[in-house]
Amino acid sequence: MGYIVEAKCKCGFQSLESIGRGMFSPQNHLTFPCLCKKCKNIVYGDMLSDSLTCSFCKGSIISYDSNELLGEDLGEVAAIENACKQLGKNLVLKTGYYLCPKCDQYSLTFDRTGMRFD
* pLDDT tens by residue, 69-78: 999 898 889 8
Q: What is the pTM of this model?
A: 0.88
Per the CB < 8 A criterion, the answer to whether 118 and 22 are in contact is yes
Per-residue pLDDT tens digits for 6-30: 999 999 999 998 888 665 565 677 8
pLDDT band at 113 (very low <50, low <70, confident <90, very high): confident
Give per-residue pLDDT as tens, 24-62: 565 677 899 999 999 999 999 999 998 899 999 999 999
Return the pLDDT at 1.
62
DSSP 30-91: -EEEEEETTTTEEEEEETTSSS-B-TTT--B-EETTSGGGEEEEEEEEEEEE--HHHHSS-E
CA distance 70 to 99: 7
